[in-house]
Structure 1
């Protein structure tokens, strides 16, 4: 699913994840969780999430990193069902917020999120990775 998502997002060349690395961080280190959407016992989508912390509300937040439904199963309510299941987890575990990001160009997803009542925030996302991280660390 990760490669299918990256292909949809036009970012396939950025995928370096291995099965071993995912197992290590998800199962050995418990740094993230994943739930799957099933149709007739077949995995047709997933939601991958982890925790962050908000100093403003002094509570942990669920951060949805990835949500993906195979294209042939879209429009059948699976994405909404996964999001609802995650919202229930947020409530059951007492987390403060449920949040995620969306690529600027991804209007279909933005419209979907708005249609279910999610609120768009005015944040820009920044990151260091690979060489930019190394350059910053070693900058004089």
Structure 2
């Protein structure tokens, strides 16, 4: 059985994390490959700007990055407190089914609690039933918000 260490990203993770994130963006979500150094620049931005967010990786005992989670930080006026948004939670296909998603989720949840965030929120696709099962198991609630989600995409 593989043992995993979950920790915050460091600069030395850059190349492996880029590969993992590309599998997430392109293979899993069928998105476009980020142009030029955009992905690398984004990872470096999160490493240098603790106010923007942070990333965590799950690393095997052999030093392979098997998964990652990204938190972005904001503020709630109504709570007058900082909040965390779990934007990404991804486990490489080779490591799925061993509870690693739960471990990553629990780690970021504990991080947000220990760091004094009012709450951690996240979204998942309607058809991503495996993620929904994980989030329900971990205690997440679909809030069926009275709020309507809008976005404008800039191409």
In structure 1, the residue matched to 2:150 is 126
Conserved in 1, the CA contact under 8 Å of 2:68 and 2:91? yes
Q: Mind listing any 5+ residue stretches in structure 2 that lack a counterpart?
A: 1-19
Query: In structure 1, what is the Cα distance between the partners aligned to 2:90 and 2:115?
Result: 23
Runs of 4+ in 1 over 3 A off after TM superposition: 14-17
Query: In structure 2, what is the Cα distance between the partners aligned to 1:89 and 1:59?
Result: 15
In structure 2, the residue matched to 1:90 is 112
Please, which of 46, 54, 73 is the counterpart of residue 76 of structure 2? 54
Please, which of 53, 59, 69 is the counterpart of residue 38 of structure 1? 59
Conserved in 1, the CA contact under 8 Å of 2:22 and 2:33? no
What is the CA RMSD across the aligned residues, in angstroms?
1.8
In structure 1, the residue matched to 2:23 is 4
Question: TM-score normalized by structure 2?
Answer: 0.74
Please, which of 87, 91, 100 is the counterpart of residue 122 of structure 2? 100
Secondary structure at the counterpart of residue 52 of structure 1: strand
In structure 2, the residue matched to 1:72 is 94
Higher alpha-carbon Rg: 1
- Of Structure 1 and Structure 2, the greater helix share is in 1
Higher relative contact order (CA 8 A, sep 6+): 2
In structure 1, the residue matched to 2:46 is 26
Question: TM-score normalized by structure 1?
Answer: 0.81
Q: Mind listing any 5+ residue stretches in structure 1 that lack a counterpart?
A: 132-140
Q: Deviations over 1:62-113 (max 9, x none)?
A: 1111000001211111111111111111121111001111012211111111
* Residues 37, 128 of structure 1: alpha-carbon distance in 2 compared, 3 angstrom cutoff: same
* Residues 64, 128 of structure 1: alpha-carbon distance in 2 compared, 3 angstrom cutoff: same
Deviation at 1:55, TM superposition (A): 2.3
Query: In structure 2, what is the Cα distance between the partners aligned to 1:61 and 1:21?
Result: 20
